[in-house]
Amino acid sequence: MLMDYFWLFVTGGGALVLGAALAYAVMRQKPLLPVTKEAQKREIDRLYERSPENKAR
C-alpha cells in the first residue's frame, strides 16, 4: 500500500517538476528585437533562394 503512494508521488511529482521547468524556460525567453527579426528573415529568404530545390524549378 505504501509503495502505491510512493509511485503516485514519484509520477505526479515528476510531471510537476517537468511542468515547472518548462514554465520557467518560457518565462525566461526574451523576445527578439525588430532589427534581429528582420535580419533573420533576410537570411532565411537568402538561404531558400539558393536552395537546390528552388534552382530546379
Q: What would the grid cell of residue 29 be?
A: 525567453
- State the pLDDT at residue 2: 80
CA dihedral 8, 12, 17, 23 (to 10 degrees): 180
Pairwise CA distance, residues 30 & 24, whole Å:
12
- State the pLDDT at residue 51: 61
pLDDT in tens, 1-57: 888 899 999 999 999 999 999 999 999 999 999 999 999 999 999 998 876 666 555
pTM recorded for the entire structure? 0.53
- State the pLDDT at residue 4: 85
Q: Considering Cα of 5, then 7, then 8, then 14, what sign does the dihedral take? A: positive
The separation between CA 34 and the C-alpha centre of its own chain, rounded to angstroms, equals 20
